[in-house]
Amino acid sequence: MMSSDPEQARCYKEVSVIGNGAYGTVYKAIDLKNEGQFVAMKNIRIQNSEEGIPMSAIREISSLRQLEKYEHPNIVRLLDVQFGNTSSEEVGLTLVFEYIDQDLATFLERSSSLGSEKIRDLMQQLLTGVDFLHSNRIVHRDLKPQNILITRGGRLKLADFGLARVYGFQMILTSVVVTLWYRAPEVILQARYATPVDSWSVGCIFGELFIRRPMFCGQSDIDQLMKIFEVVGLPAKSEWPDTVSLPWTSFKALSPQPLDRIITDLDPQAKDLLEKFLVFNPHQRICAYDALNHPYFKDDLDSLRTSSSLSVSESDSSITDSRSDTPVSK
């Protein structure tokens, strides 16, 4: 549902602040029309235009709402969208999601250890959700443990998906530090990018499940790239994007390091899959669909093929099935 009715906005009562991010404030709230059910409300402020809220933002959210009828088990549910002018200079967006009280970062902090089967289960769910987004032409663009939710029953759900273009409009935001640790090299280099950016982030998260800390903790764009190249090696000059301002010669030659020396608990299949995620060239990086069919998941391939096949049909939506790596942004 999308609404600009002020009365509708009062259907939710804020209880507490969950967090402040680059794109707004998230609240825990009570749904007053649904027997006091808890929801998560994200308030976003966008600079106003003469026509009010940008139509491209409305179209993007409408596309996401169309996915809701499938109620994919690995995608957090977007329950409601409200918008209206908060002032002559601002448009307010309120996105209402199902409430889940822990993200993957919190889950890892609360867990004393993760066995190999639990890591495999989390990766299966993560990739199933990512493949569903990609099959419907949605690139998450900001996959990290804080944007991955875990229910009490162990269900993994992706949050904050597909909203990058909504957030892309000039917004009124407080000063924040946006982590670089899960960003693909092409994003850091400000080259054109597409669905493979999510595969890189998945690889970073995969490694973190084993070592219980981020793999690449850079303090700046250059430092982040250096930490990446210390592990995967400096790519060949021929693979360096020719549209970026940072030259290949800015970095010293480095050879790739064996991942099983960095992550001691990696079995051969997990190592092979992780190596396929952490590839500099996005055209050579494994996609979510192929990763689900990797031998690492050999015991679950039949069920994975079924669960990852959900997509919006061409007759239902303009965002038809496509796992293409056609660039979507710059």
Residues 307-328 as b/e (b if ≥16 CB within 10 A, e otherwise) read bbebbbeeeebebeeebebeeb
Structure tokens at 199: 């595969």
Cα distance between residue 120 and residue 299, in whole Å = 10
Q: How far apart, in Å, are the Cα atoms of 309 and each of 133, 300, 306?
A: 11, 14, 6
User: Active site includes 80?
Assistant: no
Q: Of 215, 209, 189, 164, which is closest to residue 280 (Cα–Cα)?
A: 189
| DSSP structure string for 234-257 | PPPGGGS-TT-SS-GGGS---PPP
Residue 132: what residue type? F
Active-site residue, selected from the candidate residues 31, 103, 131, 142: 142
Q: HSE-up of 297 (CA within 13 Å, CB side)? A: 25
Active site residues: 142
